[in-house]
Structure 1
Amino acid sequence: MDALLRCTRQITAAPKGIVAIDTPAAAIATRLRSAGLAPTDPMAREFRRVLVRSAALARFASGVVLRPDDLDLPVDGTTATEFLWRSGVVVGVRVDTGLERGLGPEDRVTSGLDGLADRLRSARDAGARFALWSVWTGLAPDGLSSLTVNSQAAARFARTCQTAGLVPVVRVGARMPDGPQRARSAALGAALLSVVGHLEDLEADLAATVVNTVHTGVRAFADSPLAVLPAHLGGVALNVAPGAPPPPDAPWPIVFYVGREVTLPALLAWGGRPSSVPAAADALAARLERLADPRSGTEPVGAATITVLTPRNARRGPE
């Protein structure tokens, strides 16, 4: 467990954060087309190789999320996992397998528990040290059964993850339908509370657990859905969001979690041209620096504005 705690501290070490480059096949194909490139698997793998080689990850990423089949992606005579580890970056992998229909017509349940232990052991053998699970969060006020089923699955994932020697990163709010902000905030708070309750029921070590979620922009920590998270949680990774500074008095370390907001500009700068690899690296670095630089405040990324999480506005709790 000491190794899990050390790994948790490493991936929640502000001002760095977690960078996800595990875009699903369908989504990466769409992005390749938007960049005028062939939407093929070899092209997608080459782009991920460009990202892994970028020095920006070593400078600004505490952790990088890879696809399971990219853990052994060849990079400069070694694997992507080994390349990142040599750069001081912890490697993670997503292990849920998507969504299944739930009890109600609009309910969904995150799938992937079948064969999970074997997949986690394989990921650890390949060099991964943390794993991700995305929780479905419905907005229906009477969706208690869906809330319970999804929270139980997340807790089983976390417990199995720690048994296999990996730090669990539980994503809550990433899979949530659109709706009124008040309904989304209420659903997020209920889901966070339910997930933490089931984690404790299964005796998962919360100090070696990271929750990835969104912040609704409430200034006072006591009014935020994040307030339901216990002080002894290992850390929180917040998705970047327009104009939503994190609460200044949070009891746990906060880092950023980002994906296409930084990888899509890199893809457009690269364009499949070997001569443009440095431009792709520069585009990635510029956007990650805005997240990590305490002088930046909020900075535009494309048409959006992202919130910077830094040691000054994301106070680390006691270790």
Structure 2
Amino acid sequence: MFENELRATAQAMVVTGKGILAADESFGTANKRFQKLGIPTTEEMRRAYREMLFTTPGIGDFFSGVILFDETIRQSTADGTPFVQLLSNQGIIPGIKLDAGAKPLAKSPNELVTEGLDGLRDRVKEYYELGARFAKWRAVITIGEGIPTRRCIEANAHALARYAGICQEGGLVPIVEPEVLMDGDHTLERSYAVHEEVLKTVFYELHRYGIALDQMVLKPSMVISGQTSSQPASVEAVAQATVKCLLDCVPASVPGCAFLSGGQTDQQATEHLNRMNVLYGGKLPWKLTFSYGRALQQAAMQAWMGKPENVPTAQKALALRARCNSAASVGKYSPELEKVAVSV
């Protein structure tokens, strides 16, 4: 029923030169970030913050889509324009976070499984009617002593496949997000091994559940050494390992891989994506682009601080990060771009 629409949407989500803004922080995550900066943790402040992001001039040139939270997809600008309409008017596809968060996996200490499958079919229908055209579900895999276990990987892959099937049935392109966390002291080699096992298991389950791979987008983490590793990997090593792993695991029919930033600094996330596209751009079966949250938003939030008079400065910060990552998605980023004042 939705096949042609889903295929077209998936292609539009990874169109050359654009990425996806992840603005789907839950109440808890958004409030935690606000508290650190002394911003009031109210619904109105969250709405005003999202309005600041979504009204940034020119973001339609850099973002193909924006992932929204349940609260946000129902909100409007101060003048009454629904956010979904505001984004659509800029050529940006509205999306929605569907998972209910990662919870402890039974009998598996220090491992998580993502919940939210109950009632999902009805929620997909409602969000489609509200204007969403794609969705996101995040699975969380932790590297540590004796983990991840097979049961953790299989449980999360199974949930991702069931979610993806319900989305495609209901008209939403599923973003499939198996995140291998950077937390820990693991080496690049260990990260590669875990990514490989996770991705192969995920695509096995997607195949088993009949998911149309040309009607989805993969949101992978990068193959990178742990944040406290004694052997930090270079930009070149991360780029090479990440692409090799994707080539080993991701079928050619997937339209694109929109990376998460996963705790990297703003500039690290940009540099890694850029190096992949410099080395392999045009030679891969799928696009390599970005779907960042903090790595796009953090500078803007710090500039905004909840004050209306700071909106222009905050929007310049968002536009700069958007421009840098857009350039990285085609292998044309350089550190000099960080110094360019973006005129908005």
| TM-based fold match above 0.5 | yes
2:51 maps to a residue whose letter is: R
Q: What aligned pairs does 1:181-200 form with structure 2 within 5 A after superposition?
A: 181=187, 182-200=189-207
Q: 2:49 aligns with which of 47, 50, 67?
A: 47
Map 1:18-57; keep pairs closer than 5 Å. 18-57=20-59
Q: CA deviation at 1:41?
A: 2.5
Where does 1:199-278 land on structure 2 (aligned, <5 Å)?
199-216=206-223, 217-219=238-240, 223-240=244-261, 242=268, 243-244=271-272, 245-246=275-276, 248=280, 249-278=283-312
Verify the 8 A CA contact 2:111 2:148 in the aligned structure 1: no
Deviation at 1:99, TM superposition (A): 1.8
Which residue is 1:172 aligned to? 178
SS in 2 for 1:114: coil
The one-letter amino acid paired with 1:228 is C
Aligned to 2:136: 132
- Please list the CA deviations of residues 172-197 of structure 1 after superposition, one character each: whole Å capped at 9, or x if unmatched: 12556534032222111111111111
Distance 2:180 2:124 in 1: 22
In the aligned structure 2, how far is the partner of 1:280 from the partner of 1:88?
Answer: 22
Q: Note if 1:85 corresponds to 2:100.
A: no
- Structure 1 counterpart of 2:235: none
Cα separation, partners in 2 of 1:70 and 1:141, compared to 1, 3 Å: closer
Structure 2: runs of 5 or more not aligned: 224-237, 340-344
More strand by share: 1
**1:19 shift after superposition:** 0.4
The yes-or-no answer on 1:297 pairing with 2:334 is yes
Q: CA deviation at 1:27?
A: 2.4
- Write the distance in 2 (CA, Å) between the matches of 1:201 and 1:298: 44
- Cα distance in 2 between the residues matched to 1:22 and 1:283: 19
Query: Corresponding residue for 2:229?
Result: none
Moved more, 226-235 or 290-299: 290-299
Report what 2:228 is aligned to: none
Question: Which amino acid in 2 is paired with 1:296?
Answer: Y
Greater CA deviation, 18-27 or 200-209?
18-27
CA distance in 1, matches of 2:201, 2:116: 19
Of residues 8, 12, 15, the one that matches 2:14 is: 12
CA contact (8 A) 1:56 1:288 kept: no
**What is the alpha-carbon distance in structure 2 between the residues aligned to residue 142 and residue 128 of structure 1?**
33
User: Aligned to 1:219, what secondary structure does the other structure show?
Assistant: helix
- Of 92-101 and 237-246, the range deviating more from structure 2: 237-246
Aligned-partner Cα distance in 2 for 1:299–1:260 = 21
- What aligned pairs does 1:305-316 form with structure 2 within 5 A after superposition? none
1:7-48 deviations in Å (ceiling 9; x for gaps): 001111121100011222222223223333222232122111
Structure 1: stretches of 5+ with no match in the other structure = 303-319
Q: Do 1:134 and 1:174's aligned partners in 2 also have CA atoms closer than 8 Å? A: no
TM-score normalised by L of structure 2: 0.81
Deviations 1:204-261 (A, max 9, x none): 1001111101222142677435531011112110134525322613211121111112
Conservation of the 8 A alpha-carbon contact between 2:22 and 2:292: yes
Which one is further off, 25-34 or 161-170?
A: 25-34
Give yes or no for the alignment of 1:112 onto 2:133: no
| Residue pair 1:96, 1:134 contacting (<8 A) in 2 also | yes
Q: Is the 8 A contact 1:134 1:175 kept in 2?
A: no
Q: Which amino acid aligns with 1:283?
A: A
Structure 2 equivalent of residue 310 of structure 1:
none
Residue in structure 1 matching 2:75, options 70, 73, 76: 73
Maintained 8 Å contact 1:31/1:264: no
Q: How far off its partner does 1:203 sit?
A: 0.7
Q: Deviations over 1:254-277 (max 9, x none)?
A: 211111122121122222222221
Q: CA RMSD in A?
A: 2.2
**Residue of structure 2 aligned with 1:288, choices 312, 322, 339:** 322
CA contact (8 A) 1:14 1:254 kept: no
Checking the alignment, whether the CA contact within 8 Å between 2:180 and 2:195 is kept in structure 1 is no
Give the SS at the match of 1:74: coil
Give the structure 1 partner of residue 227 of structure 2: none
The CA deviation string for residues 63-111 of structure 1, in whole angstroms up to 9 with x for no partner, is: 1011112112112332101110111000111111012222312222111
1:162 corresponding residue in structure 2: 168
Q: Is the 1:58–1:88 contact (alpha carbons within 8 Å) kept by the matching residues of 2? A: yes
TM-score normalized by structure 1?
A: 0.87
SS of corresponding position for 2:31:
helix
